[in-house]
A and B are shown apart, each in its own frame.
Chain A
Amino acid sequence: DVKVTQSSRYLVKRTGEKVFLECVQDMDHENMFWYRQDPGLGLRLIYFSYDVKMKEKGDIPEGYSVSREKKERFSLILESASTNQTSMYLCASSSRTSGASTDTQYFGPGTRLTVL
């Protein structure tokens, strides 16, 4: 069974703290994604990676960075957390085939981050 795991389900941090969100997939997928989900806005792409050590900005990369040192692991970093980064963060992965944009993305359970 395919599996994407995220390090925490709930996280509470203070303004200005550095925050690490970890995501691991066991499907040998090339592509990995970080989204944030806010009510009424759907999912918005923060960053994605299509290979180890490769990263691409999504729609809302400001205030975030990512790291992909190993194929199975994709980390999202909030360099200095702010209250407007309070959100649900979702990680996803997909395989890379010829029709890359049609590949199914598999999601983790999400991390609900609260920044006080």
Chain B
Amino acid sequence: AQSVTQLDSHVSVSEGTPVLLRCNYSSSYSPSLFWYVQHPNKGLQLLLKYTSAATLVKGINGFEAEFKKSETSFHLTKPSAHMSDAAEYFCVVTFRGGNYQLIWGAGTKLIIKP
């Protein structure tokens, strides 16, 4: 069975410091992995996705994520946090060749301290 675990429900960092949001997945098949962001009172937006090309994926707003098969991880990082990054982030997994269903993590709320 497929599942995805976001290891932190909340992450708090100071503006200008690195961001790390952790995600581990379980999948019997070759996974596709996504990170979505949800700003307060706004819809979900795709940050980046991994679909079997390069293992280091660059997304919007300076975020990137690295697919590590041996660790079954897909952690999201950013070198320097900005106040506008405050939002909730969701890690999502599906498998190639499957149906249209996505498996969603519970979300990580990113708090940026001035």
Contacts and interface: CB of A to CB of B under 8 A. Distances in A.
A99 B49 CA distance: 13
Contacts of A107: 43-45
Interface stretch (B68-76, B77-85, B98-106): B98-106
Q: Is the interface of B mostly helix, strand, loop or mixed?
A: loop
B44 to A, nearest CB: 4
Interface string B51-90: 1000000000000000000000000000000000000001
Interface residues of B, number: 25
A28 B41 CA distance: 26
A100 B100 contact: yes
A interface, size bucket = 20 to 34
B94 A101 contact: yes
B43 A105 contact: no
Interface string A74-94: 000000000000000010101
Contacts of A90: 43-44
A101 B95 contact: yes
A11 interface: no
Interface of B: 9, 32, 34, 41-46, 49, 51, 90, 94-102, 104-107
A40 B9 contact: yes
Contacts of A4: 43
A109 B51 contact: no
Contacts, number: 64
23 contacts: A40-B107, A42-B104, A43-B104, A44-B104, A48-B100, A90-B43, A94-B100, A99-B51, A100-B100, A101-B96, A101-B97, A101-B98, A101-B100, A101-B101, A102-B51, A102-B94, A103-B100, A105-B46, A105-B102, A106-B46, A107-B43, A107-B45, A108-B43
B79 to A, nearest CB: 25
A59 B96 CA distance: 19
Q: Taking each of B34, B90, B100, which has the highest tally of chain A beta carbons within 10 Å of its own beta carbon? A: B100
Nearest to A35: B104
Given A90-B44, A108-B43, A100 B99 contact: yes
A36 B106 CA distance: 12
